[in-house]
Amino acid sequence: MSTFQVKKRFDALLEKQHLADIVSSFGDADFFDEIPLYSRYSQVEFLKPYGDVNMLLVELALDYLDRVKSEIPIGKGKRFTAITVISDDDAEYIVPSIFVCNGNVKTRLRNLHLSSPSEGLGKRIEALVKKANLDSTYGVLEDRTTVPGDVRVFVSYNSPPQGFVSQQTFADGVAAAP
Q: List the pLDDT tens digit at each of the 178 positions of the chain.
A: 448 999 999 999 999 999 999 999 999 999 999 999 999 999 999 999 999 999 999 999 999 999 999 998 877 789 999 999 999 888 899 999 999 999 999 899 999 999 999 889 999 999 999 998 877 899 999 999 888 889 999 999 999 988 999 999 998 644 444 4
Distance CA 125, CA 123 (A): 5
Rounded distance between C-alpha atoms, residue 66 and residue 156, angstroms? 10
The structure's pTM equals 0.92
Q: Contact at 8 Å (CB) between 83 and 54?
A: no
Angle separating helix axes 4-16 and 53-71, nearest 10 degrees: 70
Distance of alpha carbon 107 from alpha carbon 23, whole angstroms:
23
Cβ neighbours around 140 below 10 Å, total: 27
Beta bridge partners of 22: none
